[in-house]
Amino acid sequence: MAAPAMNNRMIKWFDDRLPIFTFMHHQMHEYPTPRNLNYWWNFGSLAGVMLVVMIVTGIVLAMNYTPSADLAFGSVERIMRDVNYGWLLRYIHANGASMFFIVVYIHIFRGLFYGSYKSPREVLWWLGLVILLLMMATAFMGYVLPWGQMSFWGATVITNLFGAFPVVGDAIVTWLWGGFSVDNPTLNRFYSLHYLLPFMIVGVVVLHLWALHTHGSNNPKGIDTKGPQDSIPFHPYYTVKDLFGTAVFFIVYAAFIFFFPDYLGHADNYIPANPLVTPPHIVPEWYFLPFYAILRAFDFDIWFMPAKLLGVLAMFASILILFLLPWLDTSRVRSGTFRPVFKWFFVILIIDCVVLGYVGAKAPNDPLIASEETVAQENEAYNACVAKADAAGKVGEDECDRPFVVQYVHLGQLATLYYFFHFLLLLPILGRTERTLPLPTSILEPVTKHGAGAGK
Amino acid sequence: MSGEGAMTRRIVTGLAATILLAMGLATTAQATGGSSVDERHWGFQGIFGTYDRGALRRGLQVYQGVCASCHGLKYIAFRNLQDVGFTEDEVKAIAVDYSLQDGPDDAGDMFERPGKPSDRFPSPFANENAARASNGGALPPDLSLIVKAREGGADYVYGVLTGYHDEPPEGVVVPEGMTYNDTFPGHMIGMPAPLFDGSVDYEDGTEATVEQMAADVTTFLAWSASPEMEQRKRMGIKVILFLIVLSGLLYAVKRKVWADVH
H or E segment and range at residue B130? helix B128-134
> Does A306 sit behind a cis peptide bond, omega within 30 degrees of 0 on the bond before it?
no
d(CA A426, nearest CA chain B) in Å:
20
**What DSSP string describes A357-369?**
HHHHTS-TTSBSS
> What mean pLDDT value characterizes chain A?
93
> What mean pLDDT value characterizes chain B?
89
B262 to A362: CB separation less than 8 angstroms, yes or no: no
d(CA B205, nearest CA chain A) in Å:
32
Distance CA B97, CA A373 (A): 54
pTM of the model: 0.90
pLDDT reported for residue A385: 83
Which amino acid is present at A93? H
Instruction: Please indicate whether residue A373 is annotated as part of the active site.
Output: no
CB of A192 closer than 8 Å to CB of A65: no
Catalytic residue among A45, A75, A217, A331: A217
State the best of B21, B30, B234, B256 to mutate against chain A, taking most chain A CBs within 10 Å. B30
Distance CA B84, CA B55 (A): 11
ipTM metric? 0.89
Catalytic residue among A77, A213, A215, A224: A213
**B110 close to A (CB below 8 A):** no
Instruction: Give residue-wise pLDDT tens across range A392-417.
Output: 877 777 777 777 888 999 999 999 99
Q: Who's near B225: CB < 8 A, 6+ residues apart?
A: A270, B144, B145, B146, B147, B148, B149
Instruction: Please indicate whether residue A285 is annotated as part of the active site.
Output: yes
Q: Who's near A155: CB < 8 A, 6+ residues apart?
A: A140, A144, A182, A186, A190
Instruction: Give residue-wise pLDDT tens across range A70-94.
Output: 999 999 999 999 999 999 999 999 9
State the best of A147, A249, A258 to mutate against chain B, taking most chain B CBs within 10 Å. A258
% of chain B beyond a pLDDT of 90: 77
Task: List the Cα angle A366/A368/A370 in 5-degree steps.
Answer: 95
Chain A, 224 to 263: residues with Cβ < 8 Å from chain B are 232, 236-237, 240-241, 243-244, 247-248, 250-251, 254-255, 257-259, 261-263
pLDDT reported for residue B14: 57
CB of B214 closer than 8 Å to CB of B55: no
CB of A21 closer than 8 Å to CB of A6: yes
Q: State how far the alpha carbon of B177 is from the alpha carbons of B168, B173, B184, in Å.
A: 14, 12, 15
Instruction: Please indicate whether residue A378 is annotated as part of the active site.
Output: no
B240 to A258: CB separation less than 8 angstroms, yes or no: yes
Chain A, 67 to 96: residues with Cβ < 8 Å from chain B are 74, 77, 80-81, 87-88, 91
Distance CA A447, CA A449 (A): 5
Instruction: Give residue-wise pLDDT tens across range B7-22.
Output: 555 555 555 555 555 5
Of A201-210, B5-14, B168-177, the range with the highest mean pLDDT is: A201-210
A358 to B29: CB separation less than 8 angstroms, yes or no: yes
Indicate the burial class of B100 (C-beta count within 10 angstroms; 0-12, 13-18, 19 or more): middle
Instruction: Please indicate whether residue A394 is annotated as part of the active site.
Output: no
Residue-level length of chain A: 456
Beta pairing, strands B188-189 & B179-180: antiparallel
Nearest-by-Cβ selection for B243 from A247, A283, A350: A247
A446 to B18: CB separation less than 8 angstroms, yes or no: no
A contacts of B257 (beta carbons < 8 Å): 236-237, 240
B contacts of A77 (beta carbons < 8 Å): 75, 144-145
A contacts of B240 (beta carbons < 8 Å): 251, 254-255, 258
B18 to A289: CB separation less than 8 angstroms, yes or no: no
Distance CA A186, CA A178 (A): 6
Which amino acid is present at A400? C
pLDDT at B141 over 90: yes
Instruction: Please indicate whether residue A107 is annotated as part of the active site.
Output: no
CATH of B51-76+143-251, one of 3.30.300.30, 3.30.43.10, 1.10.760.10, 3.40.50.150: 1.10.760.10
First to last CA, chain A: 30
Distance CA A273, CA A298 (A): 29
Distance CA A218, CA A36 (A): 10
Q: What phi and psi, each to the nearest 5 degrees, are found at residue B111?
A: -145, 160
